[in-house]
Structure 1
């Protein structure tokens, strides 16, 4: 092979090398001994440490959607961990089961916080994670979890709630919220009505928090999840299910808002 042919072969070969998102399931435990499963994702083409982002699932549990969001974050250059707030990675598509799982997870605020912090510790322990640059995002139930962590003053640079439950387990105190907070809410969300949004704003104003609420036009609860329309009819026979709906526009716009916030706080 001539030197020119060899050079071309090397160049073509190099062009075929692409980044690969590496994923793994990592077992861990809550302080009370509950077995949990984390879904970890990162881009192996990036060298060195990078900001870490926790993903907290919807009330359905640690399902394919929350895992996909971890991969999406990894593709953006973050070290991402979808954590398990229910135990054993369990999930469901039945609203009654989801409601029961969520209520059990929120029955004890200290236990819920401990499960979140166990996941945060797991993320910080990954060699790809910069432990000084951390954020958390959450969906539905997960939105409440990450907002409660912000209220508790957990050291996170940013917190993003997508169609999250906004009611506080314990209202934020002045000066307690350290994270920059972004709330993405659907205009037509009947599960978390605008009255809840106004109550949230009043709470965070009094807490002197750095926050932003974005109302996504014509969007229902669970607007970011492409399975929302199907899940609104799943698992309950002929009975009317939760008022959910996917919105491609709201999904893409809210994700862009998140990226802008992360660029602000992490500089990348």
Structure 2
């Protein structure tokens, strides 16, 4: 499959397989959904599979610092292909997207520096997802990319009632480390070994924090992979803005497969 993962901090037994719904059988549906955080209208994207009958787990997708764009919507539809109902979350409000790193940094910083705002917007999306007729509200998980990876990790730290969270090239640092016993969700974090935004010290601190909290967690690092390794647009962003990003097809495939097995385990299907 190409480059192998360089290390795993905590070994977890994973059940194989997806949800038994092939892409050929999939009847994927998607729509824009509006919900509110106080006075702010949020514009998310809901995706589900009509070939799956009855209620099924729901998964929140938190976007990169660019905002809720086609990439986040694509991941929601990919989760629907696995048999879940997925909601691509709007963390900025109004479906706002950034076209330049300066704007993306400003939008993401406004949320990252206000944990109450972050939690309120995430909870609003979680509440909407749980109310969908196709969703078992007792089985909700979350994934996030870059900025979104940091968001889902912070929501796990705060003890939200999530079955599992998976962070892809997300920031591991936090202003509010998890307290012992606080983390209810099982946690997976995927990072690139050549990601210059994530230092070895941050990786070590994250592992120590999760261990102190008594969390069920697993960390996978992909040797040579850079930041945004899951996003095929990363190379274009790197060229256009001079950012240390790069797509890595092997790491993208492997991390998605690992995430799929992870959710099968935590959801019990």
Please confirm whether the aligned pair reaches a TM-score higher than 0.5, indicating the same fold. yes
The CA deviation at 1:71 is: 0.1
Describe how 1:127-146 pairs up with structure 2 within 5 A.
127-146=133-152
**Mapped partners of 1:179, 1:120: distance in 2:** 14
User: Which has the larger Rg?
Assistant: 1
Alignment of 1:203-214 (within 5 A): 203-214=209-220
Equivalent residue for 2:87?
Answer: 81
The correspondence of residues 157-176 of structure 1 with structure 2, limited to 5 A, is 157-176=163-182
Determine if contact 1:36/1:87 at 8 Å carries over to the other structure.
yes
Determine which structure has greater relative contact order: mean sequence separation of CA pairs < 8 Å that are 6+ residues apart, divided by chain length: 2
Q: 2:51 aligns with which of 45, 48, 53?
A: 45
Q: How many equivalent pairs are there?
A: 246
TM-score (norm. length: structure 1): 0.90
Give the 5 Å matches for 1:69-148. Answer: 69-148=75-154
In the alignment, what sits opposite 1:260?
261
1:195 matched residue in structure 2: 201
Deviation at 1:125, TM superposition (A): 1.1
Tell me how large the CA RMSD over aligned residues is: 1.1
**Secondary structure, counterpart of 1:213 in structure 2:** strand
Counterparts of 1:192 and 1:92, CA distance in 2: 22
Aligned to 2:32, which of 13, 25, 32? 25
Q: Distance in 1 between matches of 2:53 and 2:140?
A: 18
Deviation at 1:19, TM superposition (A): 3.0
CA distance in 2: counterparts of 1:105 and 1:174, whole angstroms: 25
Which stretch of structure 1 is more off in the superposition, 189-198 or 109-118?
Answer: 189-198
TM-score by length of structure 2 reads 0.89
Ranges in structure 1 where 5+ consecutive residues have no aligned partner: 1-16
CA positional deviation for 1:18:
4.5
How far does the alpha carbon of each residue in 1:109-151 deviate from its partner, in whole angstroms, 9 at most, with x for none?
1111000000000101111010011100000000010000000
Structure 2: stretches of 5+ with no match in the other structure: 1-23
**How far did residue 107 of structure 1 move?**
2.8
